[in-house]
């Protein structure tokens, strides 16, 4: 049997202007290639209830929280600043309670970009609404790169913290190249999380929850780097393996 892994969806509109939601294909292919069964969740307004979350999580073995627009700053005690970007209200409504419930159930969780920010905020951390505007730093790194095709390349390096899961995934490398597609980032890391990597400008680029079986977050996009990248492949393989263990536990 294969573990079933839920992917939180992105939202869009079809050619008729109707809202729809979908899972990013690169997550689907990576999870499938590593031995999981990926399924997309739904976040269309009015089509799910918070009381459904227990039933959803009781039927899946792992959850991916993917990238996307900004979280409303009210969720970490701030007003919206001019530097804040597009806010994903429907995603906030689903993802914040979903991740708290998944943590409560000790489900394997993989968080990417916005997903990292959702995890941090859900656990009491805060965010820079815009890194360039708010973060004081002596070393300048361009974190937002949107050019076509750039998402798959290593844009800058991150410093891997020893004796963390990422240290294992990176095969002992002290620096790894990552892509960068975000304008927000972690300001205050939630107390329950531990950093696994930082950029040269001091921004936290990865973290994990050591008290849980598998809760890991990455500010970059390992799904775009793909399974050809050895670190990304090990991350996805470890996540699917943790989901397999959860599947066995649920039997």
CB atoms within 10 A of CB 204: 24
C-alpha distances in Å from residue 85, one per residue of 68, 88, 136: 11, 10, 19
Per-domain boundaries in the chain:
4-250
Three-class SS of 182-235: CCCEECCCCCCCEEEEEECCCCEEEEECCCCCCEEEECCCHHHHCCCCHHHHHH
β pairing state of 127-128 and 185-186: antiparallel
Positive or negative CA dihedral for 160, 163, 166, 171?
Answer: positive
Closest CA to 143 of 176, 170, 183: 183
The pLDDT value recorded for residue 191 is: 98
Determine the pLDDT at residue 189.
Answer: 98
CATH class of the domain whose range is 4-250: alpha beta
**Residues linked to residue 199 through DSSP beta bridges, in sequence order:** 158
The neighbouring-strand residues paired with 112 are 218
221 is catalytic: yes
Q: What string of pLDDT tens digits covers the 251 residues of the chain?
A: 999 999 999 887 777 878 888 888 999 999 999 999 999 999 887 788 888 999 999 999 999 999 999 999 999 999 999 999 999 999 999 999 999 999 999 999 999 999 999 999 999 999 999 988 888 765 666 666 554 444 545 588 999 999 999 999 999 999 999 998 889 999 999 999 999 999 998 999 999 999 999 999 999 999 999 999 999 999 999 999 999 999 999 87
Beta-bridge partner residues of 12: 20
Q: What is the predicted pLDDT for the residue at 45?
A: 78
pLDDT for the residue numbered 134: 84
Task: Answer yes or no: 248 catalytic.
Answer: no
H/E segment holding residue 4: strand 4-7
* Torsion, CA 65, CA 68, CA 70, CA 71, rounded to 10: -20
Predicted pLDDT at 246: 97
What phi and psi, each to the nearest 5 degrees, are found at residue 79? -85, 160
- The catalytically annotated residue of 34, 90, 221, 246 is 221
Q: Strand 204-208 to strand 175-178: parallel, antiparallel, or no bridges (unpaired)?
A: unpaired
Contact 101, 59 (CB under 8 A): no
Q: Which residues pair with 178 in a beta bridge?
A: 156
Q: Which one of the listed residues 90, 95, 205, 223 is annotated catalytic?
A: 223
Whether 194 is a known active-site residue: answer no
Q: Which of 44, 38, 30 is nearest to 4 (CA)?
A: 38
Catalytic residue, from 21, 34, 111, 113: name it: 113
166 Cβ contact partners less than 8 Å away, ≥ 6 residues apart: 160, 196, 197, 206, 208, 216, 231
């Amino acid at each position: 049997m294969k573990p079933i892994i839920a992917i939180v969806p992105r939202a869009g509109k079809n050619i008729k202007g109707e809202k729809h939601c979908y899972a990013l294909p690169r997550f689907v292919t990576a999870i499938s290639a590593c031995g999981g069964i990926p399924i997309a969740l739904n976040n269309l307004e009015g089509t799910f209830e918070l009381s459904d979350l227990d039933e959803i999580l009781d039927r899946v073995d792992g959850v991916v929280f993917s990238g996307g627009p900004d979280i409303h700053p009210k969720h970490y005690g701030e007003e919206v600043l001019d530097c804040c970007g597009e806010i994903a209200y429907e995603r906030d409504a689903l993802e914040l309670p979903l991740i708290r419930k998944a943590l409560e159930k000790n489900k394997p969780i993989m968080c990417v970009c916005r997903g990292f920010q959702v995890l941090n905020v859900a656990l009491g951390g805060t965010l820079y609404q815009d890194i360039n505007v708010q973060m004081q730093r002596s070393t300048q790194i361009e974190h937002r790169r949107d050019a076509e095709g750039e998402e798959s390349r290593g844009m800058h390096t991150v410093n891997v913290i020893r004796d963390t899961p990422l240290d294992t995934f990176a095969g002992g490398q002290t620096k790894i190249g990552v892509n960068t597609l975000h304008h927000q980032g972690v300001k205050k890391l939630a107390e329950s999380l531990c950093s696994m990597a930082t950029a040269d400008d001091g921004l936290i680029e990865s973290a994990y929850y050591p008290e849980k079986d598998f809760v890991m977050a990455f500010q970059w996009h390992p799904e775009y780097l793909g399974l050809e990248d050895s670190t990304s492949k090990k991350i996805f393989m470890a996540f699917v393996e943790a989901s397999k263990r959860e599947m066995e536990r649920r039997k």
